[in-house]
Structure 1
Amino acid sequence: MTLSVEKTPKARHPLPEPEESDALYEARKQIYPQSVSGTFRNIKWGLLVGGMLLYYFLPFVRWDRGPDQPGQAVLIDLANGRFYFFGIAIWPQEVYYITGLLILAAFTLFLMNALAGRVWCGYLCPQTVWTDLYLLIERWTQGERRERMKKAGLPWTPRTLAEAGAKHALWLLVAWWTGGAWVLYFADAPTLVKQLATFDAPAQAYIWIGIFTATTYVLAGFAREQVCLYMCPWPRIQAALTDEWALNVTYRVDRGEPRGSFKKARLLREAGQPAGDCVDCNQCVVVCPTGVDIRNGLDMGCIQCGLCIDACDSVMTRIGRPKGLIGYDTDLNVDRRAQGLAALKPRVFRARTIAYMVLILGVAAAMGYSLATRHTLGVDVMHDRNPIYVALSDGSLRNGYTIRALNKTGSARDFKLTLDGLPRGQLEVLGRKSSGALDVRVEADQTLELRVMVTTPPDATPPQSTPIKFVLTDPKTGEQASRADFFKGP
């Protein structure tokens, strides 16, 4: 990495006076991030590669659920209303699990913010990850920062056209693969890939691939930092959730100022005068993907990616000064250093973080317990409303119900349907009468709807409204599910 000589203002530009400009917004300045190597860059590369491999190839992971069941480990089966995640199958009636996952994600994001600010934005956000990949492609095809800036101001030549064409072709390839991978989560991946290749796939698949291709290409290739600065609400929300103990990328003003060239700082130190470690090389600015100068203090545009730390540490090593001029630090320590006090060690466990951890563990434990103890069968009951009951000619009473029996396993099952609450009540399904239990067969991973009549004899007329319960039992396993309702009398 070579030191850049570009200079940026040490303070933010003031807003233009109304008489000088009628523009409501500052014009966008093209940002050409420079490559950098170091600890945080390596962490980002590792997360990028791991995240990409997981996203692109997870649909092809197989999971045996038995005959006539989908063999894809992770599948969102909209046609049948199922969500499969390895050994777990979520039914539409269990949408609360999806709600629980969203709650867990929110609390985890809050905890990450309380510990290290916008660490999600800098390392894990899809916008950041795909933008990093697009920047890597841009460097491969068009060169480093200086080369790209130089070519941007020159007329087109066959070489620059070829480089730009290669860049956009690779960008579109990545965007297309991104959209293609997304639709694979909604159908059997190998089958859909074959259909897409032979143009036999459903039209919806091509439409969604086109949508995701276009959005990935535009957001990661052109919008980039504009998404973080203007489109994403998280920078504005997270400021209300942080505190003085949260770690943020921080410039050590007490060490860096007064800044100046390396030669000037050396002469000042030899003369016994104060001199800062910052040599004003601007490397922290040129490597920033959003163009922030961290030396001006915390900025909403800073995504806390740590690349400026790598750049600054590299410079400090070359000039023989200690690392850490830019690093993760707390607002509390910034204030303490300004007062000449010693810095404090970061506190991971404090009221805010403990509360988030307890909430995360509580929700996760509740979901885990619910999954471990949930039934593989279910029953739903809906009482007829018109008429609510029928008095037969022999004096007996009849109520009608629509009952749905659910089989949440991968094989057909035989159940027993019984009635509690009416000792002499009689069940009838499709002409089959029973004073005990009715045999019900439900196919694998299916719901069976039954039209059930409950009749009481003339000499056992119930009160105006009697609580009853329908019970569905698997005789082989003893597992039961029940649903309460009522039997209406005159």
Structure 2
Amino acid sequence: MNMATSNAQVDEVGAEDGPLYEARRKIYPIAVHGRFRKIKWALLAITLGIYYLLPFVRWDRGPNAPSQAVLVDLANGRFYFFFIEIWPQEFYYLTGLLILAALVLFLMNAVAGRIWCGYLCPQTVWTDLFQAIERMVEGDPRERREKLKHASRAQRAFEAASKHTLWLMVAWWTGGAWVLYFADAPTLVMQLLKGEGPAIAYVWIGILTFTTYVLAGHMREQVCTYMCPWPRIQAALTDEYALNVTYRYDRGEPRGSFKKTQALKLQGLPGGDCVDCNQCVAACPTGVDIREGLQLGCIQCGLCIDACDTVMKKINRPTGLIAYDTDMNVQARQQGRPTVTRLLRARTVLYAALIVVVGGIMLTTLATRGYEGLSVIHDRNPLFVQLSDGSIRNAYTLRLVNKELSSRQFQIAVEGVPDATVEVVGGVPDAQGRPVVAVGPDQTYEARVLVSTHARLPENASLGITFHATDIEGGRTASAPDHFKGP
């Protein structure tokens, strides 16, 4: 086969099969009304209300502590969530939260597919808001098509400018709200308005303004279809009992116009309830035709259900032609078998149990955690010193943590070394001569501690030793193990 023939065949195949990549078409979903649309509006209001307003909620923690209810204090290494304060040493709580979030996502997927994507995903929430602004300014897709024919260029330009201005304002406040979680919100707002805010705040506001404007205003369904990995992951986590937005083809097929279907039914011939109005496609934010089956682009938002139910009511047919169901149930109805809905099954019970276990562990550790901490580092060079009086001395660096909002004094003691004496370098003993370390409110303090003993030790001794730091007033004790070395 010569090259010319080969190229001709390639061209012929390309002409028959079409281009490898389909050109992107813009999707402008129509406005629908119904229970799922109401649920989405309610969740949008709740989630965005929390996100935008939470930085301004105050919480009195007493003196020497910030009064913002939710605050990530990077400068001091603290995370505040109402009455909870997390230190850097307690990073495992964040790990636990991420595990809980993953398990909740798995449970949601096992129960009803991608309901996270359809109702709570930030991309979905902000896209819904941007589309609402678009409809408010320019009208529904039908109105926009009419304006293209009749409205003047000046009107269309004004509406487009108004829409993008409102989009940018929402995007700007989205970025602005994010940085308010990292500083005192009222103070930072005033600094930003005066142009006196930290440079990093302006940088992040700019980044988040740009990403929100582009992703929610322009890319929209492209993020769900091409950028998000979850549609591809969730396919491995679902099963045949998971509820999904489903076109009940057992009832809808064969589809046809209302008049044609009515005529078929009068003749005793089969006719489906689907009137092929395409309202389900027009309402879909990702442009999916749910009648073609479950697809990667479907985010399970239920808007096609509302659109279809509206049409069914107008033509006096039962609603639920599109509903949360399973393909297994559709086939069962076709064969005259009873349908099965199993929300409680091994998969969902396991996820729920893991959520309870992980959440219980986190709550238990949070409720029983101490407000003091102690860690010990042994001097490496030298490991020990033999003094002129024959005693053996080891040196340590103790780091004490005081998580309370008032100053505390800790008595230092050791256990495991016979006849040991403890000295805090630079410290001032209390009235009873006990070695004491003072730690300020919500602070850490490093103390140099010398432990000596006159006791006779075995050769190459390495004794287990435990340090105790006891709050003189509260009586609570923090302990940390180490070793005492000898010749």
TM-score clears 0.5: yes
1:138 aligns with 2:134: yes
Contact preservation (8 Å) 1:421, 1:469: yes
Match for residue 418 of structure 2?
Answer: 423
Contact preservation (8 Å) 2:56, 2:185: yes
Distance 1:372 1:17 in 2: 68
Cα displacement string for residues 133-171 of structure 1 (whole angstroms, at most 9, x for unaligned residues): 000000011111123345568997110010000000000
Q: Which amino acid aligns with 1:290?
A: T
Contact preservation (8 Å) 2:243, 2:324: yes
Match for residue 376 of structure 2?
Answer: 381
Match for residue 450 of structure 2?
Answer: 453
Cα displacement string for residues 257-311 of structure 1 (whole angstroms, at most 9, x for unaligned residues): 0000001111111111110000000000000000000000000100000000000
Moved more, 283-292 or 324-333: 324-333
Match for residue 321 of structure 1?
Answer: 317
Match for residue 77 of structure 1?
Answer: 73
Q: Which amino acid aligns with 2:379?
A: D
Aligned match for 1:367, one of 353, 362, 374: 362
Q: Which amino acid aligns with 1:475?
A: I
Contact preservation (8 Å) 2:427, 2:437: no
1:405 shift after superposition? 0.4
Aligned CA distance change for structure 1 residues 334 and 256 (closer, same or farther; 3 Å): same
Q: Which amino acid aligns with 2:90?
A: E
Distance 2:301 2:50 in 1: 21
Cα displacement string for residues 211-253 of structure 1 (whole angstroms, at most 9, x for unaligned residues): 0000000000001000000000000000000011110000010
Distance 1:17 1:84 in 2: 63
Match for residue 484 of structure 1?
Answer: 481
Aligned CA distance change for structure 1 residues 431 and 307 (closer, same or farther; 3 Å): closer
Match for residue 109 of structure 2?
Answer: 113
1:337 shift after superposition? 2.7
Match for residue 247 of structure 2?
Answer: 251
Distance 1:442 1:281 in 2: 73
1:19 shift after superposition? 4.8
1:25 shift after superposition? 1.9
Q: Which amino acid aligns with 2:98?
A: L
Contact preservation (8 Å) 2:261, 2:271: yes
1:410 aligns with 2:405: yes
How many corresponding residue pairs? 473
Cα displacement string for residues 417-441 of structure 1 (whole angstroms, at most 9, x for unaligned residues): 1111113111122255979842111
Distance 1:244 1:22 in 2: 34
Match for residue 356 of structure 1?
Answer: 351
Aligned match for 2:463, one of 457, 463, 466: 466
Please state whether the residue corresponding to 1:18 is helix, strand or coil: helix
Contact preservation (8 Å) 2:250, 2:331: no
Please state whether the residue corresponding to 1:193 is helix, strand or coil: helix
Aligned CA distance change for structure 1 residues 155 and 322 (closer, same or farther; 3 Å): closer
Aligned CA distance change for structure 1 residues 153 and 239 (closer, same or farther; 3 Å): farther
TM-score by length of 1: 0.93
Match for residue 436 of structure 2?
Answer: 439
Contact preservation (8 Å) 1:401, 1:453: yes
Contact preservation (8 Å) 1:396, 1:461: no
Distance 1:151 1:78 in 2: 51
Cα displacement string for residues 379-409 of structure 1 (whole angstroms, at most 9, x for unaligned residues): 0101111111122222221111111000001
Aligned CA distance change for structure 1 residues 235 and 436 (closer, same or farther; 3 Å): farther
Aligned match for 2:287, one of 284, 288, 291: 291
1:68 aligns with 2:28: no
Match for residue 5 of structure 2?
Answer: none
Contact preservation (8 Å) 1:40, 1:307: yes
Aligned CA distance change for structure 1 residues 153 and 456 (closer, same or farther; 3 Å): farther
Contact preservation (8 Å) 2:413, 2:467: yes
1:268 aligns with 2:301: no
Please state whether the residue corresponding to 1:328 is helix, strand or coil: strand
Aligned CA distance change for structure 1 residues 307 and 431 (closer, same or farther; 3 Å): closer
Aligned match for 1:219, one of 210, 215, 235: 215
1:152-301 paired onto structure 2 within 5 Å: 157-301=153-297
Q: Which amino acid aligns with 1:378?
A: G
Please state whether the residue corresponding to 1:452 is helix, strand or coil: strand
Distance 2:412 2:61 in 1: 27
Distance 2:26 2:147 in 1: 13
1:472 shift after superposition? 1.0
Q: Which amino acid aligns with 2:373?
A: G
Contact preservation (8 Å) 2:425, 2:450: no
Contact preservation (8 Å) 1:427, 1:433: no
Distance 2:220 2:428 in 1: 69
Distance 1:211 1:20 in 2: 44
Distance 2:135 2:36 in 1: 19
Moved more, 424-433 or 217-226: 424-433
RMSD: 1.8
Please state whether the residue corresponding to 2:22 is helix, strand or coil: coil
Match for residue 5 of structure 1?
Answer: none
1:21 shift after superposition? 7.4
Contact preservation (8 Å) 2:71, 2:181: yes
Aligned CA distance change for structure 1 residues 320 and 431 (closer, same or farther; 3 Å): closer
Contact preservation (8 Å) 1:418, 1:436: no
1:101 shift after superposition? 0.3
Aligned CA distance change for structure 1 residues 433 and 145 (closer, same or farther; 3 Å): closer
TM-score by length of 2: 0.94
Match for residue 3 of structure 1?
Answer: none
Aligned match for 2:25, one of 10, 13, 29: 29
Please state whether the residue corresponding to 1:411 is helix, strand or coil: coil
Match for residue 393 of structure 2?
Answer: 398
1:43 aligns with 2:52: no
Please state whether the residue corresponding to 2:61 is helix, strand or coil: coil
Cα displacement string for residues 151-200 of structure 1 (whole angstroms, at most 9, x for unaligned residues): 56899711001000000000000000000000000001111011111111
Contact preservation (8 Å) 2:254, 2:271: yes
Aligned CA distance change for structure 1 residues 386 and 309 (closer, same or farther; 3 Å): same
Structure 2 unpaired stretches of 5+: 1-11
Cα displacement string for residues 33-71 of structure 1 (whole angstroms, at most 9, x for unaligned residues): 000000000000000001111000001111111112110
Contact preservation (8 Å) 1:246, 1:331: no
